[in-house]
């Protein structure tokens, strides 16, 4: 019987695979070291659009790629926070590609006129790629109509979001 000659391409492929197998024990630890030394941080962004609202409310459309906080300053009153994932407000559709960033509602009472965190969203609003409007949720903060606290929405990576006083929880009914 005649011996079949192994083609040059097959020999090269087998040689290459053999070298890969020999290099594998060295490649895995090197990749682990690189993972520990290289930081792949994406800047945290929160896009906030104030919307028209009635007396005793502040309404925002918020799109984020990170956790964020709702902060109140200037009034010691009960603040109810509600979050809606999608819908339409004042003719603006929002939330087609969003997710709930945290609890759908909350209530807090700041104990100081200084900045107080009244709501913490632990997740991003974006569920899928899309425009900020498609990734936005609606946040409504309700309070006594005769007051006018300064309400802001900021990324949790900002020092002032982490360092402000947490407001006490409450049972507010904005009816």
Q: Is a pLDDT exceeding 90 seen at residue 71?
A: yes
What residue ranges define each of the domains in the chain, with the CATH number in brackets? 7-40 (no CATH), 46-169 (2.60.120)
Interval 28-69: pLDDT, tens: 777 766 666 666 667 788 999 999 999 999 999 999 999 999
Distance CA 7, CA 15 (A): 13
Distance CA 122, CA 103 (A): 9
| Token representation of residue 75 | 């009034």
Interval 112-141: pLDDT, tens: 899 999 999 999 999 999 999 999 999 999
Distance CA 79, CA 75 (A): 10
- Neighbouring-strand partners of residue 108: 79, 169
Please indicate, yes or no, whether the overall pTM of this predicted structure exceeds 0.75.
no
In the chain, the DSSP E strands lie at 46-51, 57-64, 68-73, 79-84, 87-89, 92-94, 105-109, 116-121, 137-142, 150-155, 165-166, 168-169
Percent of residues in the chain assigned helix, strand, coil, to nearest 5: 20, 35, 45
Q: Which of 94, 157, 101 is nearest to 124 (CA)?
A: 101
Distance CA 157, CA 170 (A): 26
Do 79 and 110 contact (CB within 8 A), yes or no?
Answer: yes
Interval 81-104: pLDDT, tens: 999 999 999 999 999 999 999 999
Query: What band does 157 get if pLDDT is binned at 50, 70 and 90?
Result: confident
Burial 55-79 (b: 16+ CB within 10 A, else e): eebbbbbbbbbbbbbbbbeebebbb
Distance CA 18, CA 35 (A): 26
Tell me which DSSP letter residue 126 carries.
Answer: B
pLDDT for the residue numbered 165? 85
pLDDT for the residue numbered 4? 63
């Amino acid at each position: 019987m005649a011996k079949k000659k192994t083609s040059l391409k097959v020999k090269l492929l087998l040689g290459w695979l053999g070298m890969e197998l020999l290099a594998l024990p060295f490649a895995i630890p090197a990749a682990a070291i690189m993972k520990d030394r290289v930081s792949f941080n994406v800047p945290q962004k929160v896009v906030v659009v104030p919307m028209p609202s009635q007396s005793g409310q502040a309404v925002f459309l918020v799109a984020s790629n990170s956790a964020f906080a709702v902060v109140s300053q200037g009034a010691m009153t009960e603040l109810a926070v509600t979050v809606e994932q999608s819908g339409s407000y004042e003719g603006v559709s929002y939330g087609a590609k969003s997710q709930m960033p945290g609890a759908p509602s909350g209530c807090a009472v700041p104990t100081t006129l200084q900045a107080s965190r009244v709501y913490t969203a632990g997740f991003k609003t974006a569920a899928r790629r899309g425009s900020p409007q498609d990734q936005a949720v609606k946040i409504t903060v309700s309070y006594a109509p005769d007051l006018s606290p300064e309400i802001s929405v900021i990324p949790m990576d900002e020092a002032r979001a982490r360092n402000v006083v947490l407001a006490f929880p409450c049972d507010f009914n904005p009816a």
